Amino acid sequence: MIGIDITSIDRIKRMYEKFGIKAYEKFLNPKEIELIKKPETAAGFWAAKEAASKALGTGIGASCSFHDIKISKSELGAPLIKYRKKVRKAFGIKNSHLSITHDSGFAIAVVVNVLK
């Protein structure tokens, strides 16, 4: 199961400028918000969650919401991704891998889910 997404950094930046922290709360939990130091990171997290939902074949919706996907960082700063238990169980996910990059005004993320 693989998913990919591309997100405009400027779109996420404008959303934050217009709505403040509420914009981030729409798709991030408090621990994820703490990791955001610049718009590129926020856009990367948005792309990661969209890619994760696409890897399930559902997109963001009833089967998997933004808040069913959690992003953190390893000790070396690499992005990590995890679904809530109910999602892992429903889709038979053993583990997941995430890569995020940004360049030229866009953030791109790829998620690969390994099934049981």
Task: Tell me the H-state helices in 1-116.
Answer: 9-19, 21-25, 30-35, 39-56, 85-91
Known binding residue 75? Answer is no
Q: What is the mean pLDDT of the chain?
A: 97
Q: What is the pLDDT of residues 40-95, one digit of tens each?
A: 999 999 999 999 999 999 999 999 999 999 999 999 999 999 999 999 999 999 99
Known binding residue 50? Answer is yes
* pLDDT reported for residue 17: 97
38, 54, 85, 89: the catalytic one is: 54
- Percent of the chain at pLDDT above 90? 99
Per the annotation, the verdict on 54 as an active-site residue is yes
Q: What is the pLDDT of residues 7-51, one digit of tens each?
A: 999 999 999 999 999 999 999 999 999 999 999 999 999 999 999
22, 49, 85, 102: the catalytic one is: 102
* pLDDT reported for residue 115: 95
Spatial contact of 112 and 97, defined as CB atoms under 8 Å apart: yes
